[in-house]
Structure 1
Amino acid sequence: MRLLLLFLVLLTLPVLAQTESEKANALFERAYQAHLERNPEEMSRLGMKRDYGKWTDRSDQFDQEELELTKKFLAELRQSVDPKKLDPQTRLSYDLFVRESQQDIEAFPYRYHNYPVNQMFGIHAEIPTFMANVHSVGSLDDARAYLSRLHGIKPMLAQVRQGLVERERRGILPPRFVFARVLEDCNNILTGAPFEGDGVNVFYGDFEQKVKKLELDEPIRKELLAEARQALLEDVGPAYRDLIALLEQQQARADDRDGAWKLPDGDKFYAWALRRTTTTEMTADEIHNLGLAEVERIHGEMRAIMKKVGFKGTLSEFFTFMREDPRFYYPNTDEGRQQYLSDATAIVNRMKGRLDELFITKPKADMLVKRVEPFRERSAGKAFYETPALDGSRPGYYYANLYNMADMPRYQMEALAFHEGIPGHHMQLSLAQELTGIPKFRKFLHPTAYIEGWGLYCEQLPKEIGFYQDPYSDFGRLAMELFRACRLVVDTGIHSRHWTRQQGIDYYLKNTPNSPGECVKMVERHIVMPSQATAYKVGMIKILELREQARQRQGDKFDLRKFHEVVLTNGPVPLDTLQKLVEEQLP
């Protein structure tokens, strides 16, 4: 009888454990859906057409409600789920959910410590970008939802203005240089018919092209276009002009202090931002010193390439040569820009053909190379990646900023395409979206050191299978890594050591071959995105360290493809979590 009872107890144990895991996963799904349903823009990015005509709320009340929702689900998880009874994958989800929730709660007091209208990713420029690239129009309902969003820009930007006023009340204003950049963008958005200026407005042109492709009776098409003109003149135009007026007023009150130290509790905020960005406990001083050491190391590797190509002179003179010799640059013409896009696409395609040598699981979604739109290219970053829609209706995009071709040298093309595209962010983020067997919230986590560390690691990875045959291209790879090492120095210099904008620019010009324009843009990026730029080198160094440790543990059994499988198929994770996964799965 005892044996029978013991047998029955043993039979029930897996059921109990599975039940606990099912309970946890159901809660993760409810929490994810609860937040998602409050974010129409994110639903659109995922290819969903629920609340397709709405914008996400940008009020402080909305932020307060989001905080309470986060606290509610965290408390429910802790009260209703015993982590000791979870299977390993669900226990990992539990730990990540708790960590992410706690970080969101810790972040709440700093919700105003940012500049929502900035030259890098400001809402003023994100609106037309979102409408052009995310809001697809495949039906009459979709077209009407587009119009609804045009009408909704006015109340949405009113919320943005309220937030800017509240920030100024708290002593938070961007440095003076930001205003000239964003005001130019805003004015560019209000050019072209039905506004003044040549050509067609960015919104109207996009909507007109999308509506043309629909099978509609001509009177309905004309009605839609007439309403678009009305929405632009009565809602979009006034909304942007009100924003411009406020920005001009704030510009007159702004100063030239650049660092996060100027914000309320600025030093405390920056220390928190570094912890969240790097997913480590590294201090500003430790990060600064790491950057200095990496700059010195990479300079040494660059001198070896100087010797290889037979250049006579100092490293500084070699930098000048790389900046100024016309052979390294495309013409600053439409033909030059088109050639850049074609050549970048060819690099991506060559890499696609070699992926089986490096990866086991590969994403299904395609990726295209695309030029940053003219209305935002002067202020936007050098290059970036946009994830595909979940349903496959939109591919991933590697965006190249071709405003000034002097900022996009030929010798950096390979490294840039590998970072932003394949095998970099597309392999990583597209694959994360396609993963099965993990809760949805894990697919869309964004631990910056993991995300950008992988991108930088993927600049180096192709060299191991024969890319970068041209020594100048290999120099370009090192130049991009050097730029990221300098970021460790300059970010901490500006935000912790009270460096000025000009000090940061001078450091880049002295220590990198990058163009003056690119150095200025990078420093201005540091200023509006404290800590973000430290993620790249910190993450890359950790991934390389984990790879070498796994190689030493496994010896001849080590398979680089399996290492990449562990790194990519658990979804985005903090660096300490990644270390545990690699140690457990590659013993």
Structure 2
Amino acid sequence: MRLLPLLLLLLLFACGSDEPEVTPSESPDPSFTKLLDEYQEARLQLNPLEATFMGDDRYNDRLPNMLSQEYKEESRAFYQDYLARLRKINRNRLTPTEQVTYDVLEWDLNIALQGADFTEELLPLDQFSGPHLMIGQLASGASAQPFRTVEDYENWLLRVEDFATMMDTARVNLERGAARGYLLPRSLTEKLLPQLENLSAEPVEDHLFYGPVGMMGDSISTAERDRLTDEYKRMIGQRIIPLFTDLTTYVRNDYLPQSRETSGIDGIPNGEAYYKYLIKLYTTTDMTADEIHELGLSEVARLRSEMERVKTEVGYTGDLQSFFDHVRSRQELMPFSQPEEVIENFNAIYERMKPQLAQLFNKVPKTEFEVRRTEAFREASASAEYNPGSLDGTRPGIFYVPIPDVATYNTFSDEDLFLHEAIPGHHYQISLQQENEELPAFRRNLWYSAYGEGWALYCESLGEELGLYEDPYQYFGMLSAEMHRAIRLVVDTGIHSKGWSRERAIQYSLENEAESEASIISEIERYMAIPGQALSYKVGQLKIRELRARAEEQLGNDFDIKAFHDLVLEGGCLPLAVLERKVDEWIAGA
């Protein structure tokens, strides 16, 4: 509730008030429902890619130029308008569920407006994010963009033209940014170049964007197939390849020599304030970089102690640093010769844990999921990741696993990774959120990294309860994954607020975790590319652990783990303070 001006408060105290106490309504507010419906529809028109990933095909032919100043101003006006409209709603008269939605929408609009004050568009591309990667996934034909009908294929041609316009703007923004000191670190530019080169390579028939041509089904006539094939060849040969050829030349010859030698975002203009905003965006808290750095150091120390215990258990007599090398190079943990065997191993993990899932969860998503190998064009610099299924459940959730070199693929953390990326981590959380028709539409597709990644990291600790981690090396894999996230608190804040170099962050990681050096380098460069995002995992996990411990202590024998998990999952992604309020109210009402 907004604070009354001091003069009005004094008047109320002096004269008293006959206004009755406002109590929450028992039925939904039609004006609030109307606002939410209009917000969601306008939001999808502003962000048509979001609609595509939801399985809403109405805007599959559109891609607004999100790197343009016009789009930025349109977005700012959109958020300002809906924030003003929201504040005309009396929150105290809403139902308890609506009040949560009010708080979520208010937080969402405010954080978006704060972000609009920064010039993010002047750093439009990097090796981990950017339109070239997202559209590249869609262009393959194996992601959310459908390729079933003639209309689908024509929609993609229109969207690609919009994409090409956006990439033209990206080139302009790179030049504008370079002139003003908004530059990528040199190591990131070097990793970006091969991606751009891949998208500029000939022949047309081998190009990533040609993939959908080979997917045309029998429902498309021969004449239409021939026409569309010609149009796709022209699109790739005359627009996409020349565009990326020119962009590659510019980045290699002009942008790379200017790229920063510093590693942190504080090396760009207004970088310190920007990092403070990113911390808030990704953690949904007001924690400072210093507080997060100290928390990370404490967690690293705690986890090292537990790792020492496991090292002793398996009979290794060297120090922890050499044990990391032992785990990295242990041949028994690198048993595969074919990429398909990696995928089969993840499916086998799922089969082992299935019987125990019912002991921890009442709610199970209807959406199917698959484990797939990461596409070749981005595999070298990609991490394992989860892509959500469609809202209607017709497209499965997909757990992507990069396998750049199967001979050196180490399995010691596979059980832990499955719990995080697939079940019950991202797949359960995101699918149950999408399937919950009691949530307003915008909340069914909402993402807060602190909640979503915090939940997934919390799920890694459920391995023993789910019948996993019987092998001490797999348990060490879980500790290593948690250590990995604890290290992130140290190195992300170190890089972006304490002057740490890329090399210092790499060395700190090598000293405290068992990941390979190549993997660590990729991870550190990821943190350099998306400052603050890596903080969300541990901050969110620790909050969920804290809430579970609080509920167990206060409820005692009445604590029901399935009910707790239902409570955490039922409302989908929430800012952490909103989630904490929900759990406290649940404890009080139990």
SS at match of 2:370: strand
The residue that corresponds to 2:269 in the other structure is 264
**Aligned match for 2:172, one of 159, 162, 176:** 162
| Distance (Å, rounded) in 2 between the aligned partners of 1:158 and 1:214 | 36
The Cα of 1:405 is off from its aligned counterpart by: 4.0
SS at match of 1:375: helix
The residue that corresponds to 1:557 in the other structure is 558
State whether structure 2 residue 69 is matched by structure 1 residue 60: yes
In structure 2, the CA distance between the partners of 1:157 and 1:114, relative to structure 1 (3 Å rule), is: closer
Q: Deviations over 1:512-540 (max 9, x none)?
A: 11100011111101111111111111111
Paired AA for residue 100 in structure 1? D
Deviation larger for 146-155 or 283-292: 146-155
**Aligned match for 2:255, one of 212, 231, 250:** 250
| Distance (Å, rounded) in 1 between the aligned partners of 2:506 and 2:413 | 20
Paired AA for residue 331 in structure 2? P
Paired AA for residue 232 in structure 1? I
SS at match of 2:46: coil
| Distance (Å, rounded) in 2 between the aligned partners of 1:561 and 1:487 | 30
Paired AA for residue 129 in structure 2? F
**Aligned match for 1:77, one of 71, 78, 86:** 86
| Distance (Å, rounded) in 2 between the aligned partners of 1:98 and 1:472 | 45
Q: Deviations over 1:59-114 (max 9, x none)?
A: 221111111011111111212x1111111000111111111111111111124277
State whether structure 2 residue 239 is matched by structure 1 residue 235: yes
Paired AA for residue 542 in structure 2? I
Paired AA for residue 222 in structure 1? D
| Distance (Å, rounded) in 2 between the aligned partners of 1:89 and 1:463 | 34
| Distance (Å, rounded) in 2 between the aligned partners of 1:548 and 1:407 | 39
SS at match of 1:368: strand
In structure 2, the CA distance between the partners of 1:433 and 1:20, relative to structure 1 (3 Å rule), is: closer
Pairing of 1:137-536 with structure 2 (within 5 A): 137-194=147-204, 200-204=206-210, 206-211=211-216, 213-248=217-252, 249-331=254-336, 333=337, 335=338, 337-380=339-382, 382-405=383-406, 408-536=409-537
Deviation larger for 40-49 or 59-68: 40-49
Q: Report the TM-score when normalising by structure 2.
A: 0.92
Paired AA for residue 263 in structure 2? D
Unaligned runs of 5+ in 2: 1-21
The Cα of 1:24 is off from its aligned counterpart by: 0.9
The residue that corresponds to 1:10 in the other structure is none
Q: Deviations over 1:519-564 (max 9, x none)?
A: 1111101111111111111111110110000011111010011111
Q: Is the 8 Å Cα contact of residues 261 and 267 (structure 1) preserved in structure 2? A: yes
Q: Is the 8 Å Cα contact of residues 454 and 544 (structure 2) preserved in structure 1? A: yes
Q: Is the 8 Å Cα contact of residues 181 and 268 (structure 2) preserved in structure 1? A: yes
Aligned length: 563
Q: Is the 8 Å Cα contact of residues 412 and 473 (structure 1) preserved in structure 2? A: yes
| Distance (Å, rounded) in 1 between the aligned partners of 2:28 and 2:392 | 31
RMSD of aligned alpha carbons: 1.9
Deviation larger for 383-392 or 112-121: 112-121
Deviation larger for 565-574 or 457-466: 457-466
The Cα of 1:475 is off from its aligned counterpart by: 0.6
The residue that corresponds to 1:537 in the other structure is 538
Q: Deviations over 1:14-38 (max 9, x none)?
A: 9x94677221121011111111112
SS at match of 2:398: strand
The Cα of 1:462 is off from its aligned counterpart by: 2.2
Q: Is the 8 Å Cα contact of residues 124 and 130 (structure 2) preserved in structure 1? A: yes
State whether structure 2 residue 118 is matched by structure 1 residue 116: no
| Distance (Å, rounded) in 2 between the aligned partners of 1:90 and 1:184 | 48
SS at match of 1:369: strand
The Cα of 1:500 is off from its aligned counterpart by: 0.3
Paired AA for residue 194 in structure 1? V
Paired AA for residue 494 in structure 1? I
| Distance (Å, rounded) in 1 between the aligned partners of 2:317 and 2:407 | 24
The Cα of 1:489 is off from its aligned counterpart by: 0.7
The residue that corresponds to 1:575 in the other structure is 576
Q: Is the 8 Å Cα contact of residues 154 and 236 (structure 1) preserved in structure 2? A: yes
The Cα of 1:436 is off from its aligned counterpart by: 1.8
The Cα of 1:496 is off from its aligned counterpart by: 0.9
| Distance (Å, rounded) in 2 between the aligned partners of 1:37 and 1:316 | 52
| Distance (Å, rounded) in 2 between the aligned partners of 1:442 and 1:46 | 12
| Distance (Å, rounded) in 2 between the aligned partners of 1:444 and 1:25 | 17
Unaligned runs of 5+ in 1: 1-12
In structure 2, the CA distance between the partners of 1:349 and 1:147, relative to structure 1 (3 Å rule), is: farther
Q: Is the 8 Å Cα contact of residues 526 and 532 (structure 1) preserved in structure 2? A: yes
SS at match of 2:394: coil
In structure 2, the CA distance between the partners of 1:404 and 1:289, relative to structure 1 (3 Å rule), is: farther
Q: Is the 8 Å Cα contact of residues 136 and 209 (structure 2) preserved in structure 1? A: yes
Deviation larger for 467-476 or 442-451: 442-451
SS at match of 2:469: coil
Q: Deviations over 1:482-518 (max 9, x none)?
A: 1111111101111111000000001011111110001
In structure 2, the CA distance between the partners of 1:343 and 1:143, relative to structure 1 (3 Å rule), is: same
Name the % identity.
33
Deviation larger for 175-184 or 400-409: 400-409
